[in-house]
Amino acid sequence: MTVVVNVNALSADDVVAVARHNEPITLAPEALKEIARSREVIEALAEDVKPHYGVSTGFGALATRHIPHALRAQLQRSLVRSHAAGSGPEVEREVVRALMLLRLSTLATGRTGVRVETAEAYASLLNAGITPVVREYGSLGCSGDLAPLAHCALAIMGEGEVRDAQGVLRPAGEALAAAGITPVVLQEKEGLALINGTDGMLGMLVLAAHDLRLLLRTADISAAMSVEGQLGTDAVFAADLQALRPHPGQSDSAGNLRALLAESGIIASHRGPECTRVQDAYSLRCTPQVHGTVRDTLGHAELVASRELASAVDNPVVTIDGRVESNGNFHGAPVAAVLDFLAISVADLASISERRTDRFLDVARNHGLNAFLADDPGVDSGHMIAQYTQAAIVSELKRLAAPASVDSIPSSAMQEDHVSMGWSAARKLRKAIDGLTRVIAVELYTAARALDLRAPLTPAPATAAVVAGLRETVEGPGTDRWLAPEIEEAVQYVASGRALAAAESKAGRLN
């Protein structure tokens, strides 16, 4: 299904479709018309004897210099070349594709003053599967994600390095020629318009939010399995108790837990008056409160992302009534703050998951299971070191939760004296999402073993389906085996959405 880039906002689903699934894109006729209309404004200013920032002047701290006509093409080339100064590992393909799509979306609003052929070059690169090589370091998250965006602009000029559709590293000019794409010779203001946006940090926010939605539901699944496996109670998840504290995320998580634990033979086995346990540990009992907080944080982050998706970020901009005005909309503060907020919530979600896992392994707390769920404790170590792996990741996630957005390093001879560090916040959130995936997978992997060990007691239909799905690639309880491949299978089971699909096949769609 083709994604249409128009003057209005792209959806988050559009971004994921193009970035991850290579959906083709097209520029709407309305967008082409608006691009052409605003270009006329820029070309009129280019003939004006009065200097106009970004059109006939230098940039940043060099904005006081008036640039004559003969040097303006060189000015744009020089801007892009000098700003393509990234360093470090290559940024992931999906991030670069999201960044390019979002820059194109802003160009399509007609607020930047680029030519139609410049916007079409971005669409052509995306449709050809050509991905500019963008390096990890270089953006301060103010004046946009300058260096990452400049590497993309360099590619449409036929310069720099790219990965072709097969992932082969090639000179940009060679890859463009093979795809039948003519390099762009940038005109007045175009170089500036291509690098002055929050597109990198926004693209990573959209992708992270998409992944976290899946992980939140899967975390409810692994938590439900832990409640069952540790002979916990589902009574605390009752709707009337949750309604006493009406946070929407908490309500959604509790509803999921009730659905997942419905008809559990394990829970029914100790529900009667003979059960002497008064209440479960916090990591079990308070699951909806913690998981719900992450949901509500994510909801706020998605609201910010939706506003940013509807934004036309450039400096200067061509206003709807034809003025060209400088502004500060390129500052990444709104996006940077929620990226950091999500990293904090991710660390907390992973932390409670690890605590539930740890309870399975301690004979003082696991209610009758073998130490470390080992087949023959002492001879076998069971899941002892799987929890170490979890603990190492959770410790890393706590470090990644330290906010990037509170830092600021002045640049451009103090002209750009306060920056957002939003790109850095996004980079660490991506690492945190990967870590959370692994932590949840280890909990699910451990809880599945515990549920098997509770036989002949039977788990709920939903959790039983999750265990059955895992057992297609990971064996059940037994003597010690090489754990690393099994943990990776569990990670893929979680990340692919198969664990969620197995649960929903019995419990219905989860919140």
Among 53, 122, 445, 493, which one carries the catalytic annotation?
53
Q: Determine whether 53 is an active site residue.
A: yes
Which amino acid is present at 264? Answer: S
Helix/strand/coil for 245: coil
Rounded Cα distance between 469 and 473, Å, is 8
Could you tell me the CA-to-CA distances from 462 to 220, 260, 507 in Å, in that order?
Answer: 12, 5, 6
Question: In angstroms, rounded to a whole number, what is the distance separating the alpha carbons of residues 239 and 236?
Answer: 9
One-letter amino acid for residue 442 of the chain: V
**Cis, peptide link before residue 461, omega less than 30° from 0:** no
Using alpha carbons, list the distances in angstroms from residue 337 to 148, 277, 340, 402. Answer: 20, 42, 5, 12
Sheet holding 169-171, edge to edge: 131-132, 161-163, 169-171
Token output for 49: 């004897």
DSSP string, 155-207: HHTT-SEEE-TT--EEEHHHHHHHTT-PPP---TTHHHHHH-S-HHHHHHHHH
Task: Say which residue the tokens 């939760």 belong to.
Answer: 401
Q: How many whole angstroms separate alpha carbon 96 and alpha carbon 199?
A: 9
- Taking every pair of C-alpha atoms in the chain, what is the biggest distance, in angstroms? 91
At 241 the three-state DSSP class reads: helix
Catalytic (active-site) positions: 53
